[in-house]
Structure formats: structure tokens, C-alpha cells
Amino acid sequence: MIYHIAKYLQQYFSFFNMFHYVSFRAIVALLSSIFCSLAFGGWFIKNIASRESFKSRPREWTPDNHLKKNETPTMGGLFIIAICIINIFLWCNLLTPNIWFFISCLVGFGLIGLLDDLKKLKLGKGISISLKFFLQFEFAILLVLAWYYSTDQNTTLCVPFFKNLMFPLGCLIIPWAIFIIVGTSNAVNLTDGLDGLATGPLMTNFATFSVISYLAGHKFLAKYLHIPFSSSSSEMTIIGATLVGTLLGFLWYNTYPAQIFMGDVGSLALGASLAFMAIISRQELLLILAGGIFVLETVSVMIQIFTFRVFGKRMFRMAPIHHHYELLGWEEAKITVRFWIISIILSLLTLLTLKIR
């Protein structure tokens, strides 16, 4: 909205020319998202999340000390999605199709998470794993098909560390994108088990892919770094900055001891949205490195299931792996901050790979 108003007014006042620059709008969007989150977060917790229908219950297969988290409000993802969309409308070029596909991804996966959260709160157990996967795949298929056939997207798959190793996927990008979106969504969902644990790595990842999106949307820099150029990628920089700001503000209330949890409505939506950002910038393989914490959590669950079914023994005391460290005696805040540190390091290494080609 502000972008389009400024574009009209710039013919009369040169001051409004600055809104043309992606870098300026990204910084302003980040700051306004932080302000909105801090300004309305307390109100949301007090007037909305304090209702009985928002009170959380500990997940299945969690340490006993999680019983103390009973009655903590959940579904804070509703707040995150609302603040994000408001700031997207304020600062983005709404004539960019990818903006609307991103919003659809955020809202669609958020609704799946909302359904799961509501059932957990009412019945003590969420929707079945099979139904959750079915809904995720169905929506991802619709989203990717609509994105692929209604926009002119580069379908080159870039391989990190090799500047000339690229594979044109063509229509194969459809199943590939579906897999990445659903996989990342569930990986973030598995990570969201401690106060602020998922929020920190999500911030670093959105910041990383904001930078990558900016580079992919800059013709000269994209050519210099051997990144597929896409003019629409630059607008994703503003979305990424918006999410970083929103999550930073949300962390004010989500840090240990949490006043509110994001719930599945937040983790599923943000995981899928992160994947969609990576897909648009054609750097989805870098998610493996930047999102190393999410990969670690997912792999730990897979190893736990495999070792128990094959050998009858558990590799970890409990999975995902953050619960393993809890049972080893680590304090929750220590686990969270150390995972954040690892995520920051991985994100910096991810940005380095753009030059090491």
C-alpha cells in the first residue's frame, strides 16, 4: 500500500523515490514488523490467547518437566501470520505474483496447523499423521501447480560450491518443490519443542534467504555470483525482512519462560514459507546447510525410529534430539541458545558458499 502510494507521489516529491529501493523497504519493513509485534503482542496474549480455548497441553513423548507448560497460551502463529501479512501489504509491490503465492503458502499451511492445534486443545490429540501429510501434500500440489503454470519461473537447480553445475528441472520442479515445501514444514514443526527453539533458527534462515533473494533479484550481482536471475526475487527480500522482524518481536514473548507458543499454526506455516522463499531464489539446496538445525531434528527422529524398529533399541533417550539433551540434564535455555548459535554459524557459512564457487 505505502509502496504504491509512494510510487504515485514520487512524481511530485523526490523524497518518495527512496521507496523504490528494495534495501530501504526491507529495513523499514523489518523495523515496522518489530514495532507491531512488540506493540500488539502483549494485547494479543492478554485478550485473545488468555482464553481457555488457547491454553496448551504438552505434546506426546516429551519429558515430564514439560507438564509445567500446561496452560501456557498457544497458537501464537496466528499473531505472526497477521503481523506478517499486514506489513507485506504495507511495504511490498503487490503487483508481483510471487507475493500472492507466498501469502497463499503462509495462510494455507497455517490453516492446516490451526486444524491440528484446535483438535489438540479440544481432544488432547491432534489430527492423525496420515491426514496431516495428506493435507500438506494436497495444498502443496495446488500451490506449486498454480505457481509453475501462471508465472515464468527459472527452473534451474543450483548445486552449492560449483558455479557451472546447474540442472534445468523443467516440469520436474513440480514434485521437487512439493517435496521441499512439505519436508521443511514438518522439519520446523519437529524443532518447535522448547521455548524459542524454532524461532531463533527461523530468524537466521529468513535473514539468510532475504540476502540471497536480494542477490537473485539484482541482475549484475546474480550474474557475478552465478545465481539464476529473477526480477521478482527482490520483493522476497522485503518479505524475509518482515518475517525476521515479526519473529524478533514474537521472541520477546516466546523466549524462556515462554508467555506464548507459536503452535503448529506457526511452525507449519513458517517452515513451508521458508522453503518457498528458497525455491523462488533457486537455492533450495542451501536449506540443508542454513536449516541444519531443522535437518538435525528431523534426522534424529528418523534414526530413533529406525534403530528401535530394527534393533529394538533407541539411539537417543528421546527424540527429537533437543529432548535427548533435556534428559541428559541440560537446562532448556542452554539448549535453545546453543542451537541458536549453531544456526547463526550455519547461516553465515551458507552465505559464504555463494562466493565459494
222 touches 214 (CB < 8 A): no
Spatial separation of the C-alpha atoms in residues 191 and 2, rounded to whole Å: 36
How confident is the model at residue 48, as a pLDDT? 79
Digit-coded pLDDT (tens) for 37-55: 999 999 998 887 777 667 7
318 φ/ψ angles, rounded to the nearest 5 degrees: -165, 145
Question: Is pTM beyond 0.95 here?
Answer: no
Spatial separation of the C-alpha atoms in residues 323 and 332, rounded to whole Å: 9
> What is the H or E stretch that residue 284 is in?
none
330 φ/ψ angles, rounded to the nearest 5 degrees: -70, 140
How confident is the model at residue 58, as a pLDDT? 61
Spatial separation of the C-alpha atoms in residues 29 and 87, rounded to whole Å: 6
174 touches 212 (CB < 8 A): no
For the chain, residues with pLDDT lower than 50 are none
Spatial separation of the C-alpha atoms in residues 78 and 123, rounded to whole Å: 20
User: Number of H helices and number of E strands within the chain?
Assistant: 14, 2
Digit-coded pLDDT (tens) for 162-197: 777 788 888 899 999 999 999 999 999 999 888 889
Spatial separation of the C-alpha atoms in residues 128 and 274, rounded to whole Å: 24
Spatial separation of the C-alpha atoms in residues 142 and 159, rounded to whole Å: 27
Percentage of the chain with pLDDT > 90? Answer: 54
Peptide bond into 58 cis (omega under 30): no
Strand partners, 166: 158
Spatial separation of the C-alpha atoms in residues 157 and 168, rounded to whole Å: 6
Spatial separation of the C-alpha atoms in residues 42 and 75, rounded to whole Å: 14
- Extents of the domains making up the chain: 2-353
How confident is the model at residue 164, as a pLDDT? 76
Spatial separation of the C-alpha atoms in residues 349 and 257, rounded to whole Å: 30
Cell numbers found for residue 71: 496452560
